[in-house]
């Protein structure tokens, strides 16, 4: 090998190796200080994507456990109120039994009836003033209260729709309903695509064609039908109106075709998903076609597609739905008191049935919470396995790169020193 000073090849090699060593040393120090072996996309792009997905799942599951706990709290508030109603009804039974005996005079009957009417007023008051988070509990709203739990995906989520029957002296207790579970849904694609490829995705702010509407036909327990026609000017407005309608078992959201498993259109197409757990509700377009005017749909939009919605548990009123009306009862006479006894027994039975439903939902949400906690624990463990720094391996690498850094500096210094020997030839 000839001697020269134009390029110090040995020094270049040493410098490049030293730079590589310093980069590796910096990466190891970052892993040790952060506790994570993947700190950027350059470390492991696929691993980073997996970690971010698992973090989203774990975060949603953590909040889901809280959601379930809050749902249990709501149910316990309602059950506590109904417990007091049962106590009041038992006192009313005592009064009605006393008046039925016929040993009281009219003044005593009037006094017993006065207390009885106070009991009925207190039941109405409990129904009106029982609240959770400043919201009335016993509203009787058909839409119910949704308790959402899941990992942020449609397939990994569920809703427990809680129904709280109205409570007053004229509507005491609730029985005869059933709890149903369903993941039925209908997806209405509002996006514009060409040959299965998305061109323009529908958005919440997009305008609908003038007069566009959806018609919900509800078959009632007595066999009659009622119709709810919902219309709006925008996609988001229609979704909001559907949810405000309060149709039992029906809710709407904006989602994608891939999320609901609609393979008939482009996976990225967006549209309205209507979850429907109520077999007594049918859905159809109004007289004007439901189209997204903003996407300029030149072809007729895809028809409703039966698909998978969020798994939902809900309460459905039955054909023999029963509640008790005590508002017109009184204890002004023996006959009235004996008639009131029959009504009170019915009320106690209906309240017990309602409390049974609430208790079953408490057990359901507690079970859901336990499942969610276990799932969150396992997902966090999986995330940790992918992301966490292996300190045994990292500290070994640290020692290696520290030694290589020192030897690299020495080698670079030696390479620069050797080239100085050329000057001796010029002496």
CATH number (domain holding residue 342): 1.20.1330.10
Same domain, 210 and 166: no
Same domain membership, residue 151 and residue 66: yes
What SS3 state is found at 70?
A: helix
Please return the burial class of 231, using the count of CB atoms within 10 Å of its CB with bins 0-12, 13-18 and 19+. middle
* Count of domains forming the chain: 3
Q: Does 3 fall in a domain?
A: no
- Do residues 226 and 220 touch, judged by C-beta distance below 8 A? yes
User: Do 364 and 393 belong to one domain?
Assistant: no
Percent with pLDDT over 70 in the chain: 93
- Domain boundary among the residues 258, 280, 313 is at 313
Section 382-409 average pLDDT: 80
- Per the document, the length of the chain is 427
The single-letter DSSP state of residue 301 is: P
Does residue 200 sit in the same domain as residue 328?
A: no
237-251, 346-360, 367-381: range with lowest mean pLDDT: 237-251
Position 374 scores a pLDDT of 92
Whether 329 is in a domain gets the answer: yes
* Same domain flag for 206 and 132: no
Please give the pLDDT value at position 71.
95
Range from 214-228, 284-298, 401-415 that averages highest in pLDDT: 214-228
- On whether residue 4 sits in a domain, the answer given is no
Per-residue model confidence (pLDDT) at position 372: 92
State pLDDT tens for residues 263-292.
Answer: 778 888 888 888 887 778 888 888 887 888
Mean pLDDT of 307-313: 79
Which residues in 118-212 belong to E strands, given as ranges?
A: 131-132, 135-136, 145-150, 157-162, 172-175, 178-189, 192-194, 197-200
Three-state DSSP at 202 gives coil
Angle, CA 375 vertex, CA 370 and CA 378 arms, to 5°: 130
User: What are the phi and psi torsion angles at 113 (to 5°)?
Assistant: -65, -35
DSSP, residue by residue, 274-309: EEE--TTEEEEE-SS---BGGGT--SPPPPPEEEEE
Please report, to the nearest 10 degrees, the dihedral formed by the alpha carbons of residues 420, 422, 426, 427 taken in order.
50
Single residue among 279, 296, 313 that ends a domain in this structure: 313
Sequence-distant (6+) residues with CB within 8 A of 46 are none
Task: For residues 371 and 277, state if they share a domain.
Answer: no
Mean of all residue pLDDT scores within the chain: 85
Q: Is 76 helix (H, G, I), strand (E, B) or coil?
A: helix
Please tell me the chain's helix, strand, coil percentages from 3-state DSSP, rounded to the nearest 5.
50, 20, 30
Assigned domain for 145 exists? yes
Q: Which of these three, 258, 292, 313, is where a domain ends? A: 313
Distance CA 97, CA 74 (A): 35
- Provide the 3-class DSSP secondary structure of residue 415: helix
Does a structural domain hold residue 268? yes
Do 20 and 118 lie in one domain? The reply is no
Q: Classify 196 in phi/psi space as left (phi over 0), alpha (psi -120 to 50) or beta.
A: left
CB atoms within 10 A of CB 164: 27
- The secondary structure of residue 206, as a DSSP letter, is P
For the chain, the C-alpha Rg in angstroms (whole number) is 35
Q: Are residues 167 and 52 in the same domain?
A: yes
pTM above 0.75, yes or no: no
**Domain hosting residue 417, numbered range:** 9-37+388-426
The arithmetic mean of pLDDT across residues 12-21, rounded, is 80
pLDDT higher than 80, residue 34: no
The pLDDT score that the predictor gives to residue 132 is: 95
Q: Is 332 found in the same domain as 252?
A: no
Q: Count of CB atoms within 10 A of residue 37's CB? A: 21
Residue at 366 is within a domain: yes
Instruction: Indicate whether 87 and 208 sit together in one domain.
Output: no
| Range among 1-15, 36-50, 51-65, 345-359 rated most confident | 345-359
Strand order in the sheet with 281-285: 225-231, 213-219, 281-285
- Reduced to 3 states (helix: H, G, I; strand: E, B; else coil), residue 273 is strand
Residue 2 lies in a domain: no
Residues 33, 147, single domain; the answer is no
Residues 77 and 117 in one domain: yes
Classify residue 1: in a domain, yes or no.
no
CB atoms within 10 A of CB 38: 20
State the CB neighbour count (10 A cutoff) for residue 227: 8
């Amino acid at each position: 090998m000839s001697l020269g000073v134009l390029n110090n090849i040995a020094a270049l090699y040493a410098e490049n190796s030293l730079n590589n060593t310093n980069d590796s040393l910096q990466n190891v120090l970052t892993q040790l200080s952060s506790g994570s072996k993947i700190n950027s996309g350059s470390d492991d792009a696929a691993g980073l994507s997996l970690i971010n997905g698992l973090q989203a799942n774990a975060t949603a599951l953590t909040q889901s456990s809280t959601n379930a706990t809050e749902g249990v709290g709501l149910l316990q508030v309602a059950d506590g109120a109904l417990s007091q109603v049962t106590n009041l009804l038992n006192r009313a039974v005592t009064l009605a039994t006393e008046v039925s005996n016929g040993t009281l005079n009219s003044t005593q009957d009037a006094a017993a009836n006065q207390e009885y009417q106070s009991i009925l007023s207190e039941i109405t008051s409990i129904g009106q003033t029982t609240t959770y988070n400043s919201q009335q509990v016993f509203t009787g709203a058909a839409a119910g209260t949704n308790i959402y739990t899941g990992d942020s995906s449609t397939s990994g989520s569920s809703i427990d729709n809680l129904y709280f029957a109205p409570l007053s002296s004229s509507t005491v207790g609730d029985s005869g309903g059933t709890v149903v579970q369903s993941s039925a849904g209908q997806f209405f694609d509002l996006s514009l695509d060409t040959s299965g490829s998305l061109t323009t995705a529908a958005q919440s702010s997009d305008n609908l064609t003038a007069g566009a509407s959806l018609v919900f036909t509800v078959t009632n327990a007595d066999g009659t039908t009622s119709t709810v026609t919902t219309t709006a000017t925008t996609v988001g407005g229609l979704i909001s109106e559907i949810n405000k309608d309060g149709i039992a078992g029906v809710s709407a959201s904006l989602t994608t075709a891939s999320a609901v498993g609609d393979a008939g259109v482009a996976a990225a197409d967006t549209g309205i998903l209507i979850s429907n757990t109520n077999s007594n509700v049918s859905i159809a377009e109004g007289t004007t076609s439901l189209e997204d005017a903003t996407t300029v749909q030149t072809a007729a939009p895809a028809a409703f597609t039966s698909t998978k919605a969020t798994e939902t548990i809900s309460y459905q009123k039955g054909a023999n739905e029963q509640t008790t009306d005590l508002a017109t009862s009184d204890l002004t006479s023996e006959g009235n008191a004996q008639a009131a006894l029959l009504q009170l027994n019915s009320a106690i039975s209906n309240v017990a049935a309602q409390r049974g439903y609430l208790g079953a939902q408490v057990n359901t949400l507690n079970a859901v919470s336990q499942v969610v906690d276990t799932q969150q624990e396992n997902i966090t463990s999986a995330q940790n396995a992918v992301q966490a720094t292996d300190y045994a391996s990292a500290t070994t690498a640290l020692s290696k790169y520290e030694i290589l850094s020192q030897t690299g500096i020495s080698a670079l210094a030696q390479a620069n020193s050797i080239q100085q020997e050329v000057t001796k030839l010029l002496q």
